Structure 1
Amino acid sequence: MTDRQIPGWVKPSLELGPVALFFLGYIYLKDETFTVGGTEYAGFIVVTALFIPLILASTAALWWLTGKLSQMQIVTAVLVTVFGGLSVWLNDERFFKMKPTLIYLLFAAVFFFGLWRGRSYLAMVLSETLPLTHEGWMLLTKRMAWFFVGLAVANEVIWRTMSTDAWVSFKTFGLPVAMFAFFIAQAGLLKAHTPEEKVEEE
């Protein structure tokens, strides 16, 4: 399937929509308890069970509409299914809360491996939309790798020491804000390492 052009709002809606619905579902059902087959399930587990087909459907829709998926989208869908499924099957919310930690550590490891080989795997994903010199990509990749490590640590600290309410709020709002702040903080790097020919064209 070839790449397809879609309205600019569709992709972020499909990526962020399931997370927003998870948050709303949790707020609505967090104090509820459901009995299925003689087993009691907290609202968090029920919302997790609903989130799995939702994220799979949104990922499938994104692939059908655009003809492609990023590695992060694929990995996220797989880990949501595996760890969300474990949380539902074992009736233990801890597995689903561990999922972001594993995602962030996985991508940090991939970035560090690329740096060790003298390559920027981040450039392979973003080079078409973000022109940088090789030195710039290597530096940005190193910072991004450590940023993912920091997110993994933050996720572990929050879900292990704080309430589920705090973790859901962190996952829904804190992580996107942290990502936005990270890229804003890289403005100096981006300016310093934009290829000269690109600057001249502008």
Structure 2
Amino acid sequence: MTQETTTSIKTAPAARQKKKLNPGLKIALELGPLIVFFVVNSKFGIFYATGVLMAGVLLTLAVSWAITKHLPAMPVVTAILVLVFGGLTVFLQNEDFIKLKVTILYSMFGAALIGALYFNKLLLPIVFDMAIHIDDAGWRKLTWRWGLFFFFLAGLNEVVRHMVSTDSWVNFKVFGILPLTILFAVAQAPLIMRHEIAPEEEDTESHF
């Protein structure tokens, strides 16, 4: 086993010691701001919806911190971009900023995941908060897939945001990107199963 592999596996026991959110609450925190964003946009427009989205991501981070005493990387990065581009959207009254946020966010995720592989680092276990247990070969394959998928979403968002109205873009964000992401995640099940290892085996390898 290489030094890089040992290093990446060593992070697993510490990650499992962190207190985790209830799965139902985690889904509610992840989807809640997006659903409220959609509802408020349909009633009051994109600028009010953006303001509510900004408040929503801060609230979800606060709840997550209050329960677990730590914050996952992806929600933090997402919240920062929502606040920056959402603030520009509201302040300048220009909805292009909140639309562009999606492109930048997914491009950053894709670049970070694939770029880290160049330095023999695995970021995806951190993203998933060690919710699954697979060997390093599996993590690398999964990293490439998710990285390229994020780039695909970024490109798709660019196409859609230039072709449709703001209301249609909001529908795409809620009813397009979300289902695509779920379908993609489900499609990774065979790869995960092929590379799955038991937590006990993972702990044993971390001592090599």
Structure 1 residues 78 and 118: CA distance shift in structure 2, 3 A: same
Aligned residue for 2:39?
A: 24
Flag the structure with higher helix content: 2
Could you give the per-residue CA deviations for residues 4-28 of structure 1, whole angstroms, max 9, x where no partner exists? 4554322221221111111011111
Q: CA separation in 2, counterparts of 1:123 and 1:3?
A: 14
Q: CA separation in 2, counterparts of 1:191 and 1:123?
A: 16
Q: For CA contacts below 8 A with separation 6 or more, give which structure has more relative contact order.
A: 2
Aligned residue for 1:10?
A: 25
Q: CA separation in 2, counterparts of 1:6 and 1:96?
A: 28
RMSD: 2.2
Aligned residue for 1:156?
A: 158
Q: CA separation in 1, counterparts of 2:20 and 2:136?
A: 29
> Gaps spanning 5+ residues in structure 1: where?
30-42
Percentage of pairs with the same residue = 36
Aligned residue for 1:192?
A: 194
Q: Is the 8 A contact 1:119 1:138 kept in 2?
A: no
Structure 1 residues 92 and 9: CA distance shift in structure 2, 3 A: same
Aligned residue for 1:37?
A: none
Aligned residue for 1:108?
A: 110
Q: How much does 1:127 deviate? A: 6.8
Q: CA separation in 1, counterparts of 2:18 and 2:126?
A: 17
| AA matched with 2:43 | Y
Q: CA separation in 2, counterparts of 1:124 and 1:18?
A: 22
Aligned residue for 1:87?
A: 89
Aligned residue for 1:178?
A: 180
Aligned residue for 1:147?
A: 149
What's the TM-score, normalizing by structure 1? Answer: 0.83
Matches of residues 130-145 of structure 1 in structure 2 within 5 Å?
Answer: 130-145=132-147
> Gaps spanning 5+ residues in structure 2: where?
1-16, 202-208
Q: How much does 1:196 deviate? A: 7.8
Q: Is the 8 A contact 2:133 2:199 kept in 1?
A: no
SS of structure 1 residue aligned to 2:23: coil
Q: CA separation in 2, counterparts of 1:134 and 1:170?
A: 34
